[in-house]
Amino acid sequence: MIKILIPQALIENLREFLYNHQNVVFDTYKSNIDEKLVEENWDIVFVFKHDVDIKGKIMVSSENELRLAVEMLEWKERYEKIKVKFDLFYFSPELQGPVIRNFLKQVLKAHKDGEKVILKYESGIFIEDYIRFFENHAPELNVKVSRKKGIEIPPARKRKDDIPYIFDKALSSIYAKHKNIPRHIPEDDEYVLISQYNWPGNTKQIVEVAHKYALTGELNLPVENKRFEEIDLPLYISKTVKQLEKKYIKLALRKSKSRKEAGKLLHMNYKTLSYKIKIYGLDEK
């Protein structure tokens, strides 16, 4: 809301203008302006003298200046609202991906103004992001959250298509904050592993793994996975083996002066090692 303090003498002249702006609240003063100034944190103060300056307030001395000041603050409020929506959608790992975007769209479509909406969520889901989303996109909805009942927010294991988006957003946020660390970008096989994993700790766990990946360049998925539902085991094993092969071939090459020496460390013959180096794109590394 825009808070305005105006002289009592101008109330009739400005009444229509003030009432036409629903986001404006105002009060008047006669000779008690000093008292009024300490009562409220006013955005705009109307004074007749141009030489009056109050720190942190927009000072106006004509009706035209008042109108311009109100319009400016209204545009500023609109900009802040748009920025909040943009920041949520583009900077929150939790809200990344087509599955969750479709979920949010369906919730908005299915519920009317003033209706109570209860969102059910699991541990590890950043529920604050959903609350902020609905506060900014549908403030008319009465949104509540619960761990026991309500519309289920899809957990990570039901958002397989979203996982790469969440992981990427977490990584990009880390790299943006810590510009001095080397940038490690996941490869296709790593994305498959990330997507196939069930993530019992949901987005919080994904962000934690992304932090470790950013620091080491190695994808270390937690072994424990109590909430088992479904997994493409042959594909998961295949990709895991490839990642382990690539990891240890890299380590052997770094530690050795030649492929022959690296092969001895790996108990792998020269021909097989050279083939693996080629398919994993390690020729120049």
Axis-axis angle for helices 188-196, 163-177 (nearest 10): 120
C-beta neighbour count of 15 within 10 angstroms: 11
**Sequence-separated (6 or more) residues with CB below 8 Å from residue 102:** none
CA distances from 157 to 68, 161, 188, 224, 264 (A): 52, 10, 19, 14, 41
- The confidence score (pLDDT) of residue 284 equals 57
| pLDDT tens across the length of the chain (285 residues) | 888 888 888 888 888 887 888 788 888 888 778 888 877 888 888 887 655 667 778 888 888 888 899 889 888 887 776 666 666 556 789 999 999 999 999 999 898 777 889 999 999 999 999 998 898 888 888 999 999 999 999 999 999 999 999 999 999 989 988 888 889 888 888 888 898 888 999 999 999 999 999 998 888 888 655 555 666 767 767 777 777 788 888 888 888 888 888 888 888 888 888 888 887 888 754
Report how far residue 40's alpha carbon sits from residue 6's, in angstroms, rounded to the nearest whole number: 13
Report how far residue 198's alpha carbon sits from residue 228's, in angstroms, rounded to the nearest whole number: 7
Which of 30, 52, 56, 61 is closest to 42 using CA atoms? Answer: 56
- Side chain identity at residue 261, one-letter code: E
- The confidence score (pLDDT) of residue 228 equals 55
Which two tokens mark 119?
């969102």
